[in-house]
Structure 1
Amino acid sequence: MLRKSITYFFWLSVAVSLTNSFTLKNDIIGEVLFILIPVLLAADLGLKFLWKQKPREAETGGDGNSEKEKLFAKVPVEQRPNFKEWSVQHHGRTIRVINWYSLRPLVGAAHLFIDGVEVDCSRAMTHSPKKPLLVSGNVKVFFSGALSVKASVVDGEELIHRDDLSLADKIVNKLFYFG
């Protein structure tokens, strides 16, 4: 709460300083803000380094035991919300990718099957389109999409499946790339 307050007052002082510079032109306000802005900036940066927040971990290790995941445990994968499946034949192997998610509660999963055997699974709800979410040997699966999930499957350096991206998908990939 303290850090949020300091950040809020820092940006408020910057806004007041800009307003003062362009409209009011009051010397006393300018002098106070000249001292206050660097102090608030130093306090904000100092608190960011001192009070590093631990990243939120998943409620489970992805073993399906969270309360959210238990809601869908008895539902067949094909009947889960927003279910989507991709299947590709490549060099005599069947590569199958399944993705599903629910926004209420926020839960979902992606699965990679090669010749009917599940080789990778992820329960990440957001992901960078530049990094593979599912990997097994040379097979990598990338996900992206703004309004619906799009998948690309790569075997080694060879692109074997790619969903067409809409303009909205391309914009979202550029603006919200989490690097």
Structure 2
Amino acid sequence: MPRHGYRLLAGLVLAANLATPVAAENRAELSTGWGDDDTQLYRLGVARDWNRAWHTDGDWQLTGYWLAEIGYWNSDKDNRQNDNLWEVGLTPVLRLAPKASGGMRPYLEAGIGGHVLSDTRIGERELSTAWQFGSHLGAGLDCGRFQLGYRFQHLSNASIKEPNDGINFHILTADMRF
């Protein structure tokens, strides 16, 4: 790892230890989406809060959670081969939300994680490697026990191997705390 990578890692560890503890929660998540080349996406996920909050002085705070998912993709392209695949993903996610509880609270989130695919082709897309990086930006409403959200997600292999077609998804999510 380059020297600046060690500094970044050390800074993240220090920041995590200085963060304010918050109550942990678990959530189950169902999501569906659509992507490039008429690809549909269906996922089941489990989220676990990090028990930490940053920037807690004002009305908003920054928190985070782990999101573990299993998903199924299906392409409607007229291609007799590679019209579906399975994925497994793990993503650390940062979330900005109001501190107040109750009612409907908006949130913004961003995450970058890893995904392993059962195939390197979907429809006419060549992803080249089973390992893909997934990054997303999202927004939604926390309605107490339930959350509804939208994510824009991009998956690609970060040019580890060519071709690197990548794929974009628009994803709707529904979460329930347990």
TM-score scaled to structure 2, two decimals? 0.28
Greater length-normalized contact order (CA 8 Å, ≥ 6 residues apart): 2
Going by fraction, where is strand more abundant, 1 or 2?
A: 2
Going by fraction, where is helix more abundant, 1 or 2?
A: 1
* Higher alpha-carbon Rg: 1
TM-score scaled to structure 1, two decimals? 0.28
